[in-house]
Structure formats: structure tokens, C-alpha cells
Structure 1
Amino acid sequence: MSTASQEIGTHLDACLAQAVAADARMADVAAVIAACAAAAIDVSAVIGRGALGGDLAAQGEHNSDGDVQKALDVLAHERFTEALRGAPVAEVASEEAEGVMVLNPGAPLAVAIDPLDGSSNIGVNMAVGTIFGIRPAVVRAGDPIASFTDPGTAQLAAGFITYGPATSLVVTLGAGTQIYTLDREAGAFRLTHPQLTVPAQSNEYAINASNARHWDTPVKAYIEDCLRGTEGPRDRDCNMRWLGSLVADAQRVLMRGGVFLYPGDNRKGYAQGRLRLLYEAAPVAMLMEQAGAGATDGERRILDIAATGVHERVPLVFGSAEEVTTVATYYGGRNPAAGRSPLFGQRGLIRS
């Protein structure tokens, strides 16, 4: 969706109408985005009430991954599923459902969605979000997940919603990445960032440093060199950011650059990281690439990876193009110098 001719403040519906006028094939995709936007407004209102609306962090059943669902996880899943039922969506793959859900058999589109990203932030007034990718529906006899096994390049559109101080919809229809901000008084999303361009270079990186002892050699080497600042091979000081919410970290990167890393590590069950390819990594990767950034698993382009299961995991590195390329060089060389600093070596800072 190109918004070059749209003014800041234009309503989402008007921008979607313009995209459909330019290419009638986008009508179904536009309808799905509109449905997601409507559900997001509803969910945003619930989140905005916080504890006044009840205990949104109350624990319930387990989801597809065995994680304990919170009340807001379930609510978001229900609201988005219902909204997508009224759109031209044949199937939905949701983090909160074990298998593919059939909504409207014969409809042209399929949606992969994480209805509530950042569940650990529920109840403490920090940013959470929703992530989705829109794909063509595929029918293949004997294959119930056929719509979701093509590489990420098959996505027709992608987006995420950030429920923070403001609620924003970040979206691409394959012609740039835009941000729409919720006008609470009007009850509608309005264009605030017509064309995002991620700076190619940045001094910011985001990673969960508490897992440092579990990282593999390339990640240790890269982060060590960032920490060494002007005294190290990167010859510049870096700042670390980590919000514990993929959408919040992704929006920061989209707006001011930087690199985000959620690598695989040596813990049991973490060899491929913890992020899901279909409804987290692939949509974010499309948004990044449409803003001039990059997204890999450390070595491979995320959008070239085909899923073999609905809840398949993948390591994820995204952000400023030069920085993503730099991370790849550490993987490519399997840098043997990793761990040379006392920060990651066998002899810690306070060990003798």
C-alpha cells in the first residue's frame, strides 16, 4: 500500500480504498486489514482500562506451546478470530490454537496471527501487541496446513499492533511500511508515518542479556564486540535496549534503527529460539524489508524459509541492514575469538 499521495491524518479506510482503486486484487487483503484494525480497537479499549476491567493477567489453560494462557491472551484470540470470521479468510493459524482453524471454507485468504504478543507484560502496564501475516489460502488434499507452508515471500501483507501509550497499527501491503495511530475520539486509525525507512546503521541493539551464558559462539562474539565500544573492533559505543515485547522492539527499530536478536541457544528447547516463524518472524521480516531493513535467522533470509509446522520456531535477527549483515559475518566465520573477554570467559570479572 503506497501512501505517497496520502496526507498525514488520513483514515485507514481511505488509504485502503486507495490501494484497492490502484489494484482491485487487493480488495480481500484490505478487508482483512480492516477487520484486524476493528478488533485492535476493541482490544485496545480493554487494555486501556487495565485493572479496572479485571485481572487481565489471570492464568487459565495452556496454549499450543504449553505456556499458560492469561485472560488477555484468550480475549484477544477470541476478538480477532471473530473479526476474521467476517472477512474473506478461509483459515487461521493462531498461537492460541493447536491446529489450523477453518473459518470460511473457499475464501481466498489465510491468516497467521499471534493475538497477544508480550504476555509477560500483561498486568504491569507495559506494551503488548498483535502480529499477523496474510497469505493466499491453499487447498491441498491431505494437507491441513497447506496454506502456511510456503516461504514468507508468499505473504500478501503483514502487520502488527502495539498497545502502548498510543495504539498503533504498523502495516505493509508490499509497497512500503506505514504506521497508523488510533484516534481514540474518532475510534479510527489515522496515518501518522506514511513511509518508514530504517537507517542502515545504528548503535543500538536489543537482546536478552540474561541468557548470555547460553549463547553460541557467534552471538557471544558479536555482543562482546558491541560491549567493547570504541576500544573494540567496531570502533563505536553501543546502547542496549530490551522491552520484552517483540512488537515494541520492532516498532522502535522501524522508527530509529538498531538491531534485534533472539537467537537460538544451548538451553533445552531453545536451539531454534522461541519466536514462531509463521506468525511472528515472517510478518515482522516483511515489514522490515519493506522499510529497507533486513531480517535473518543469523544466516538465512527469514522470508525464504518455509514452515513445516504451524508453531515452528526460528532464530530471529532483524533491523538496520548493515547491522544484520554484520551479525551474519559472525555466523559465517564462527568467530573463534568469542569468549575472549572476561564478560563471557571462564574467568568472570570477580573471579581470581
Structure 2
Amino acid sequence: MTLLSLFKNTDNNNPHTLLWGPDAFLNDYLTRSYSREQQFAGYERVIVDCEADGLDDLLADLTESSLFSQQKLITIKNPFFLTAKVPKKFQRQLTQLENVLSHINELDNVVVISASYEKIDRRKKLTKTVLKNFNVVETQIKPYEVGAITKVLINAEGFAISQSALQLLVERSDQVMDTVLSNYSKLKMAAEDKKITKDLVEKNVDLSLAQNIFAILEAALRNNYHEAITRLTNQLHQGSNPVQLLAVFENQIELILVVKILAKRGRSEAQISKELAIHPYRVKLALRSRLQVAKLTQLLETAIKLDFNYKNGQCQSDDFLKMFILNV
């Protein structure tokens, strides 16, 4: 099974592929996986970074025969020619590139384009040519889809992961796909018999900053202020910026507040997860909070005021964070 099949494909019978989505780590991961497929065994591998190597090198690789008389699998990274910001000095190369790619099916080689951009310029003739002649794979993932896609991806690579381990992996990766893949790469090295367990995740994947902050809030909500202050002090000693920590506190409190408001309006956990584009487990955790809407609103207002005061120099040390936690 190809990992590209996990995403929307416009023509999966076409080997010429455009991977388009903002996550560069994910696109690189998928590109490497695709290039290792059996259909490309024996191909010469060529990687061209348009920003580093330029369009002349790209044109040469697309039009010149392999030194080894092999078919080539040409991976194009940073294809700025698909974006709106292309200097006029490249007009000649763009015209040549448009001509080559419009006849891509006449080439013996296979071309894979990894476009890690939020947007591409669909108005340009060159972009239209690529969209027409390539299998377009949109690699954009919503946060609530991360867990399901991660599980399929892991299984497709011959590994097994328990549901509890998957949930913990996604949580400790903050639902960010490139972080999930980075942590998964560590787990693959440590997994015995290709089995990923919750214990393996706990030992090899650290808590994220957001999770550490959530643990501080959770401890304070349980009135365990000693644990909360100890965790906060550790974060500060590790070099975390007070403003950064306060921003995460604000985000966590705001999330709990919004989830509780939506729940009061009759939304189910699944509906809230989809509406806020967050993992269902985060909704479940937010609903467990004992704080009422009025108290959450007060805490959020206090956090915003502290943020303003710190940035304006009225708070000279990080003690204001400790006072904030003691008032939760």
C-alpha cells in the first residue's frame, strides 16, 4: 500500500506526482516513502532544490539523459516557480520549464514535486500545466485527523501500535503531524518485533511544552500547588520564556472555556472536536476540569492583563507566573 493513498489523489495511476501541503517534514517523509516503492527499483535518484540549485540545474536534469542509461526519479524540492513570487529574471527558464512539463508524459523519467506551501498560484500557466499533468496529492491534515492517519501510516509500514500508545503519541506531539512523524521515527528504532506500546512511548517521547503547561494547570486545579510550582520552576530553569509560558496558559484556559460553553449549548464531544479542529482527547480533558465558566473567564482576563503588564515592563521578574498559578 502506498502512503500517498492516505490522501486525496487526482490520478493515482499517474506516477508524476505533486505533493502539496504546508508541512515540509510530512511531504519529505511521503516523498522518501514513494521513491522507495518497488516500481522505482533500479531508477537513478536525483534531487533538485530549486532555491539552492536554481532552475537551470532543474532543466538540465529534466532534459538530459542519465549517465548510467537508467530512468531517473527526479524529486523537485522548493518549487518556487509554482508560487506568486517569482522574479522576472527567471522568465526564460519558466517558459522552458512550462514546455518540458507540458510534455511530461513523453519523458522516460518520473518527476515528483514536493511543494510545501500554504498556497500556489493557480492563475499561472506553468501551475495549470503541473495540475493538469501530475497526480496532485493534497497533504493537508486537520488536527482531529492526525491520529487516524498516523495509525494507518504506521500499519502500512509494517508496525503495530496499541490504541493507548497511539493516543499518547499524538498527545505528546501536540497533534502536529511533523512532530508525530519525528517521534515515530525514534519509536521505530526502539520498537521490538515492530510493536509500539504505551510504555515505549512514555520512555522515548517527552512531554511537549503545551502538555507540561497543562500538567501545571491540572496540578493547580487539584490544589496541589507544590507540584504546580515545582513544574513551573523546572520549565523556567529549562529556559522557557515567561511570555511564551503565559501564552500557553492563555491558550489552555481559553480552550477549556470554549469547550465548556459549547457543551452547555448541547454539543457532543465529537461535534466540539470537529468544530474546534482538535483531538477528541483534548475535549475530554477540558470537560473534566472542575472550573466553572465564570472562574475560567476571570483567569483568562487575569492572564491577558499579566501578559500586557509584562510586555510593558510592569512585571520585572517571573514571580508573576507563580502568583497566577497560586490563584487558580
Superposed pair shares fold, TM > 0.5? no
Q: Which has the higher strand share?
A: 1
Q: Which has the higher helix share?
A: 2
Please give the range of the TM-score, normalised by the shorter of the 2 chains. under 0.3
Normalising by structure 2, we get a TM-score of 0.24
> Quick check: which has more Rg, 1 or 2?
2
